[in-house]
Each structure stands twice: as C-alpha cells, then as structure tokens.
Amino acid sequence: MALNYQSYCIAELINSADHFGSVYVDDHLELDCAASQKITKNLTTVVEFKNLTNAPKKLYLLDPSHTTQMEYYGWSMQAGVRLSF
C-alpha cells in the first residue's frame, strides 16, 4: 500500500486586464495498493489499484475558496502476469 501526498503548487500565472494572480492545483492525498503472488519459479500474478480515495484534481484562483476547476478521475485497476526467463 502507498499513500501519496501532493502539496499545492502553482499551475499558471495570470497577468491580464481582468485578472492578476496565480492558478493553483490544490493539495491532495491518494491511496494506491498493489499485490503479487508467485505461482511458479517463472510466473507471478500482479494486481494494482490506484487512486482508491478518488482524490479530485482541484484548481483555484488566488485562494481555495475560488475554485475554477474540479476533476474526478475515479480509481483504476490493472492486473496481469509476469514471466521471468
């Protein structure tokens, strides 16, 4: 299991007639999980889950109360086998 934290950061600097300031990507926390099982000497099964917390990507102008964009990507899963020679 992995808990990934990304702090807020500047995504864009704005200097126009209407606005002056910065667009930020808000901080967020994601939970990922991976597991594998060795079946034989050369064969391993693998499964990975990403963004189990469904952490949104939130962009805001100047401060968090001015949200300009919020995107939810949901969680994803990958499964497969590894062959070793």
pTM: 0.64
% of the chain at pLDDT higher than 70:
94
Structural domains of the chain, count: 1
**Which residue range forms the structural domain that includes residue 66?**
2-83
Residue 13 is predicted with a pLDDT of: 83
Greater pLDDT, 23 or 49: 49
Nearest CA to 53 out of 85, 75, 35 is that of: 75
Q: How many CB atoms lie within 10 A of CB 70?
A: 11
Work out the burial of residue 72: count CB atoms within 10 Å of its CB; fewer than 13 is exposed, 13-18 middle, 19 or more buried: exposed
Q: Which residues of 19-43 are buried (b: 16+ CB within 10 A; e: fewer)?
A: eeeebbbbebebbbeeeeeeeeeee
pLDDT in tens, 33-50: 999 999 999 999 999 999
Mean pLDDT, the chain, as a whole number?
88
